[in-house]
Amino acid sequence: MENNRKIIDTSGALILAASSVVGGKEFEGPLGSLFDFHDPSDRFGQKTFERSEGEMQRLVLASAMTKLGVGASDIDALFAGDLMNQCVSSAYGLLEYDIPYFGLYGACSTAAEGLMLASILVSRGISDLAAAVTSSHNSAAERQYRNPIEYGGQRTPTAQWTVTGAGAFVVGRKGDALAEIADVFPGIVVEKGVTDAANMGAAMAPAAADTLLNYFELSGTSPSDYDIIISGDLGREGVTILGELLATSGVDASGKLDDCGLMIYDLEAQDVHAGGSGCGCSASVLAASILPKLKRGELRNILFYGTGAMMSPSSLKQGLAIPAVAHLLHLKAYGGAK
């Protein structure tokens, strides 16, 4: 089948504001002091974990709008998603906002997917301001996909720890930006026969390699052209496999690959095995750590891509292999050189 994939020019789409919130374990990690909000109890004043996750989304969207000095009536479109069935945390958490709502399910790629869609609307002049919000909650995700945490099941070395966290972003064309979304590259669904839900890194790495290799070819660039290439969230296992897949294809990315799931935790001290995962992982790390570095000029030209394992509780029970997708954003310091 003919490959009609294209890099979409989104120059002029600016990330104007961002906000982050995390739970107690994430606050104890290396980036703890960078997050806007945290709750050691992971409850955020709510009775259930699912409602707690919704409250995180409400909190970060309100914070991002406050930072920018705008209200809900100024936002033309809201892209939101989470890991829960039917994305209920997003729907309930954002109920109070009278903003046109688009529900997304991209698993751990949701932050990148939401920002991609927001940047397309803004860069084409369809929206003046568009927002992207996503979240995950460790206890809610464990209950849905595996077992309640009270079960105390053993975790394999390749397993990742679902982050309790959320991130919100407001994209527009005018203002003192955190970063510019120069262009974006949507991923395709890739499935290579991995059935182990405790090894999502292995399931997602082929999709990441497909997206990166096609982007490099279409853009005429290589890893050396970028300060860093950050995934969210392959974890230790996935990053290792990705490096091997790229090398097999003749692309040397040594020293360039990093991952939000490796950045948010101290892998040795916090016993999270292969690192962090979940929609809230890349969203909170992007908002709290990566975008401020672009704003300060510590980073000038990066690739940020979200990788999602597109499984469901039903597909896992049926023993189906795990399909995955990787969506890529080319981010630049505002006004930075290409």
pLDDT band at 169 (very low <50, low <70, confident <90, very high): very high
pLDDT band at 312 (very low <50, low <70, confident <90, very high): confident
3-state secondary structure the chain: CCCCCCCEEEEEEEEEEEEEEEEHHHHCCCCHHHCCEEECCCCCCCCCHHHHHHHHHHHHHHHHHHHHCCCHHHCCEEEEECCCHHHHHHHHHCCCCCCCEEEECCHHHHHHHHHHHHHHHHHCCCCCEEEEEEEECHHHHHHHHCCCHHHCCCCCCCCCEECCEEEEEEEECCCCCCEEEEEEECCCCECCCCCCCCCHHHHHHHHHHHHHHHHHHHHCCCHHHCCEEEEECCHHHHHHHHHHHHHHCCCCCCCCEEEHHHHCCCCCCCCCCCCEECHHHHHHHHHHHHHHHHHHCCCCEEEEEEEEECCCHHHHHCCCCCCEEEEEEEEECCCCCC
For 58, phi then psi, to 5°, come to -60, -45
Q: Is the pLDDT of residue 338 over 70?
A: no
Nearest to 278 by CA among 304, 257, 309, 305: 309
Q: pLDDT digit string (tens) for 277-303?
A: 889 999 999 999 999 999 999 999 999
- Span 302-324, mean pLDDT? 91
The one-letter code for the residue type at 287 is: A
Q: What's the CATH number of domain 8-172, 3.40.50.720, 3.40.190.150, 3.40.47.40, 3.40.190.100? A: 3.40.47.40
Length of the chain (residues): 338
Nearest to 274 by CA among 284, 261, 255: 261
Tell me what pLDDT residue 138 has: 84
Please state which of the ranges 20-29, 97-106, 152-161 shows the lowest mean pLDDT.
Answer: 152-161
Q: What is the CATH number that goes with domain 181-332? A: 3.40.47.40
Q: pLDDT digit string (tens) for 89-107?
A: 999 999 999 999 999 999 9
Q: Is the pLDDT of residue 185 over 70?
A: yes
List the chain domain ranges: 8-172, 181-332
Average pLDDT score over the chain: 92
What is the spatial distance between Cα 306 and Cα 200, in angstroms, rounded to a whole number? 13
